[in-house]
Amino acid sequence: MITSKYKKLLLASSLFIAAGSANAGYEIKLSDEDKISFGGYIKVDARYVDGDVGYRDFWIGSGTPLEKSASQFRLFANETRFNTKYVHGDVTGFIEMDFWGGGGNEIISNSVHPRLRHAFIKYKDVLAGQTWSTFMNTSAIPESADFAGATVGLVFIRQGQVRYTMGNFQVSLENPESWGGDTANDSMPDVVARYNLKGDWGSVSFSALGRQLNTNLGNSETAIGASIAGRITTFGKDDFRFQLHQGELGRYVGVAFTKDLVGEKVEDLTAYLAAYRHYWTDTLRSTVLYGRAEADESGADRSQWSVNLFQNLTKQLAVGVEVGNFEMADQNVDSNYAQLSLKYVL
């Protein structure tokens, strides 16, 4: 039976291969064509926020202005995630979940709900399912304790899509959503094209986005935008990560920073992020980062900066501390934060 086969394989330590990334911790070879892997990480965070933007477990592109400054401390493990990947020849299936799905409370058990992050099938050069948008360059996300770090400057979105990859070129049809408009008439998929450059120096991506948005008064508007993002190797193990986004990008940028449509007008925005990571030793490193986003129609202006220090206690276990600030300049409020994180990669 398959179950007994799995048990035998799990007992055979020679079949376990530890991988370097958080997405593929242990791999089991089932046959010449079949293998299954398990990965993810356990992350525990202690977070303190002080200021006149309401507490959040991690900053996004919007916040709640407070009439009076407040301070709050929380200890949580919601970022913890688990994934599994099954490979059969040219076919790959991948699924991942974490625990930002809501629910729970601080009174008794804090039993938070799991949520779906990724679920896709890949056959040769075609991918279908839910995963990071093709418009997004994950290698340009900085290392931080605060989840993704300065999300106001990031393209950060997962959604259903069909993607075709041909060498360095990718094109995809992705799920539409007229945020702030009439979603009932979203009949055309978003279209993304991307070109990747890679080398010993690092990697850079150039992306373009085109879509049709539908207003609440029944009008259809064309929205286009572009992005350049990358990670550049500098000295030793150091790297510089950057992102620059311009155009009618709405929900694609800043994690709820601004809507696609403000009234009957398409929102236009500019967002950017810069982060430098320096290795003090082979296992001790720091990242300093700054991200900002500005929108024309809504007038939203948000920014975040932070500096951190991470140390690997073992190959799989790291501890980090981070301090920073999140500002909503358009509403003249901001909050400082400090965070301690412990992360164990499976």
Q: What is Dmax (Cα atoms) for the chain?
A: 64
Q: Is 206 helix (H, G, I), strand (E, B) or coil?
A: strand
Q: What is the model's pLDDT at position 22? A: 41
Mean pLDDT of all residues in 92-106 = 93
Determine how β-strand 301-312 pairs with β-strand 284-295.
antiparallel
156: exposed, middle or buried (Cβ count in 10 Å: 0-12, 13-18, 19+): buried
Give DSSP secondary structure letters for 128-175. Answer: EEEEE-TT--GGGSPP-SSTTS-GGGSB--EEEEEEEEETTEEEEEE-
Q: Do 147 and 227 form a contact (C-beta atoms < 8 A)?
A: no
Q: Is 13 helix (H, G, I), strand (E, B) or coil?
A: helix
Q: What is the model's pLDDT at position 14? A: 33
Q: What is the model's pLDDT at position 247? A: 98
pLDDT digits (tens, 9 = 90+) for 227-250: 999 999 999 999 999 999 999 999
Shortest CA distance to 153 belongs to which of 15, 6, 304, 316?
Answer: 304
Across all residues in the chain, what is the average pLDDT?
92
Backbone angles phi, psi at 136, to 5 degrees: -105, 135
Q: Is 207 helix (H, G, I), strand (E, B) or coil?
A: strand
Q: Is 0.85 surpassed by the pTM of this model? A: yes
| Strand spans (E) along 248-300 | 261-262, 265-266, 269-279, 284-295
- pLDDT reading at 16 higher than 60: no
Q: How far apart are CA 286 and CA 41, in angstroms?
A: 21
pLDDT digits (tens, 9 = 90+) for 24-72: 578 999 998 999 999 999 999 999 999 999 999 999 999 999 999 999 9
Residue 5, H or E segment: helix 2-11
pLDDT digits (tens, 9 = 90+) for 312-336: 999 999 999 999 999 999 999 999 9
- pLDDT reading at 19 higher than 60: no
246: which residues sit within 8 A by CB, 6+ positions away? 225, 226, 227, 269, 270, 271
Q: How far apart are CA 261 and CA 295, in angstroms?
A: 11
Mean pLDDT of all residues in 170-186 = 97
160: which residues sit within 8 A by CB, 6+ positions away? 129, 130, 174, 175
Shortest CA distance to 197 belongs to which of 206, 207, 188, 208?
Answer: 206
Q: Is 311 helix (H, G, I), strand (E, B) or coil?
A: strand
Q: What is the model's pLDDT at position 24? A: 52
Q: What is the model's pLDDT at position 32? A: 87
Q: What is the model's pLDDT at position 104? A: 83
Q: Left, alpha or beta for 316 (phi > 0: left; psi -120 to 50: alpha)? A: alpha
pLDDT digits (tens, 9 = 90+) for 264-312: 999 999 999 999 999 999 999 999 999 999 999 999 999 999 999 999 9
CA torsion, points 84, 95, 76, 46, in degrees to nearest 10?
A: 80
- pLDDT reading at 4 higher than 70: no
Q: What is the model's pLDDT at position 105? A: 85
pLDDT digits (tens, 9 = 90+) for 113-169: 999 999 999 999 999 999 999 999 999 999 999 998 899 999 999 999 999 999 999
Determine the straight-line distance between the first and last CA of the chain, rounded to whole angstroms: 27
Q: How far apart are CA 120 and CA 131, in angstroms?
A: 7
98: which residues sit within 8 A by CB, 6+ positions away? 78, 79, 80, 81, 82, 114, 115, 117
Q: What is the model's pLDDT at position 103? A: 87
Q: Do 113 and 101 form a contact (C-beta atoms < 8 A)?
A: yes
Q: Which residues pair with 335 in a beta bridge?
A: 51, 326
